[in-house]
């Protein structure tokens, strides 16, 4: 894989993080997307989007906090994977994107079961396909939780059926594996810009759900304030409506930085050494296994990765390139394993 070298004008992690999201780069695939409705086992509904392909591979893309299936990095990844021939499912977490108003519970960084149910649905819809799953930011940790703690994520499902909820290969990008640490970092210095943006989007979601009478605890709306810290929001909303005692309990149960040795599915973990709110020290302490590979880039910010040199895709979007190279490697390894 071509090494990532940050663009000389964008070496600062905040520039990588912010400008990567602001540069216009959305491919013209939106008109080709069709709705893919999935009813979860608890009755809530996800309205995902689907891009048809031709090869025996389906790639599932899972977005980060306050994102959705139309997030720029999701659409770019979908385009490039579809160019390889993949069927692509662009997941929307609960009440995200086109699925807003179809769920009563919030999504969170431990929502591994939701991702697992999307995988299981895809295995039924595409029975002959290999399933690759990509988690970005919040979804990266949720995906890692599914793979490292199936007994908790899939506690209502018979163990002999767990494999149908797992992908064949997984890629986790900029995962907040230590949720308490991420919460602390978001409340410091310039990171407050991200925190305020997250809180604003989350607050808007809560108020819209309240107007639709879709909050399982209507009183929670009174506790939401615009000047909250992310931990305050998780304490009164995310944890409260997701079955955790409080934010600390949610963070403790759903963090994955100390659980990767339990992952049995081939998994590629990608992060940068300067992610503003995901501490690289947790990744440096991780011990790779025969199934888990870890790549820490020098620079890149959070879901930034704007490179000095153009990649083989013809752009400076190194993250797009990494997604494609991972998919190609999975296909080669799969071919090798099934060759007579």
Query: Tell me, what CATH number does 107's domain have?
Result: 3.40.50.1820
pLDDT digits (tens), the chain, 340 positions: 899 999 999 999 999 999 999 887 778 899 999 999 999 999 999 999 999 999 999 999 999 999 999 999 999 999 999 999 999 999 999 999 999 999 999 999 999 999 999 999 999 999 999 999 999 999 999 999 999 999 999 999 999 999 999 999 999 999 999 999 999 999 999 999 999 999 999 999 998 998 888 887 777 877 777 688 999 999 999 999 999 999 999 999 999 999 999 999 999 999 999 999 999 999 999 989 999 999 999 999 999 999 999 999 999 999 999 999 999 999 876 554 443 3
200 and 265 belong to one structural domain: no
Assigned domain for 204 exists: yes
Answer yes or no: do 199 and 309 share one domain. no
Contact between 14 and 190 (Cβ < 8 Å):
yes
Residue 8: inside a domain: no
Examine residue 45 and state whether it is found in any structural domain, yes or no.
Answer: yes
Are 173 and 184 in the same domain?
Answer: no
Q: What is the pLDDT of residue 43?
A: 96
Can you read off the two tokens belonging to residue 135?
């988690």
Which domain covers residue 138, as residue numbers?
13-177+261-338
- Statement to judge: residues 18 and 137 lie in one domain: yes
> What's the pLDDT score for residue 116?
98
Residues 29 and 139 in one domain: yes
Residues 61, 17 within the same domain: yes
Does residue 241 form part of some domain? yes
pLDDT of residue 28: 85
Q: Are residues 46 and 158 in the same domain?
A: yes
If you compute the radius of gyration of the chain from its CA atoms, what whole number of angstroms results?
19
If asked whether residues 245 and 320 sit together in one domain, one would say: no
- Helices 112-125, 138-148: crossing angle, 10 deg rounding: 80
Query: In this structure, is residue 96 part of a structural domain?
Result: yes
Domain count, the chain: 2
- Tokens 């991420």 correspond to 182
Task: Give residue 190's Cα distance to chain centre.
Answer: 23
Q: Is residue 108 part of a domain?
A: yes
Q: Is 58 found in the same domain as 200?
A: no
Q: Are 29 and 316 in contact (CB under 8 A)?
A: no
SS3 67: coil
Task: Quote the pLDDT of residue 226.
Answer: 66
Looking at the fold, whether 29 and 52 belong to one and the same domain comes out as yes
Domain membership of residue 1 (yes or no) is no
Residues 40 and 120 in one domain: yes
44 part of a folded domain? yes
Distance CA 57, CA 73 (A): 20
Report the distance separating Cα 172 and Cα 260, nearest Å: 12
Q: Do 124 and 26 reside in the same domain of the chain?
A: yes
């Amino acid at each position: 894989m071509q090494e990532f070298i940050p663009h000389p004008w964008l070496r600062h992690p905040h520039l990588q993080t912010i400008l990567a999201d602001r540069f216009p780069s959305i491919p013209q695939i939106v008109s080709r997307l069709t709705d893919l409705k999935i009813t979860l086992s608890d009755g809530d509904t996800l309205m995902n989007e689907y891009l048809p392909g031709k090869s025996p591979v389906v790639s599932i893309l899972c977005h980060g906090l306050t994102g959705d299936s139309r997030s720029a990095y999701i659409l770019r990844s979908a385009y490039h994977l579809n160019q390889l021939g993949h069927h692509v499912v662009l997941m929307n977490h609960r009440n995200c994107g086109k699925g807003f108003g179809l769920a009563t519970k919030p999504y969170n960084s431990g929502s591994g079961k939701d991702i697992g149910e999307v995988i299981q649905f895809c295995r039924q819809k595409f029975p002959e396909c290999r399933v690759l799953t990509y988690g970005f930011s919040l979804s990266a940790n949720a995906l890692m939780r599914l793979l490292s703690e199936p007994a908790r994520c899939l506690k209502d499902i018979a163990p002999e059926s767990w494999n149908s909820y797992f992908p064949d290969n997984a890629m986790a990008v900029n995962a907040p594996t230590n949720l308490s640490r991420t919460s602390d970092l978001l409340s410091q210095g310039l990171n407050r810009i991200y925190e305020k943006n997250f809180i604003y989007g989350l607050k808007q979601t809560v108020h819209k759900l309240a107007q639709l009478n879709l909050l399982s605890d209507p009183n929670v709306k009174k506790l939401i304030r615009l000047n909250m810290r992310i931990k305050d929001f998780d304490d009164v909303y995310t944890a409260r409506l997701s079955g955790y005692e409080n934010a600390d309990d949610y963070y403790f149960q759903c963090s994955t930085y100390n659980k990767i040795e339990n992952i049995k599915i081939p998994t590629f973990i990608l992060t940068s050494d300067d992610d503003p709110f995901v501490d690289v020290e947790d990744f440096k302490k991780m011990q790779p296994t025969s199934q888990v590979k870890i790549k820490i880039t020098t620079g890149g910010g959070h879901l930034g990765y704007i490179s000095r040199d153009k990649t083989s895709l013809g752009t400076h979007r190194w993250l797009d390139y990494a997604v494609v190279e991972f998919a190609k490697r999975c296909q080669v390894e799969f071919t090798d394993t099934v060759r007579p």
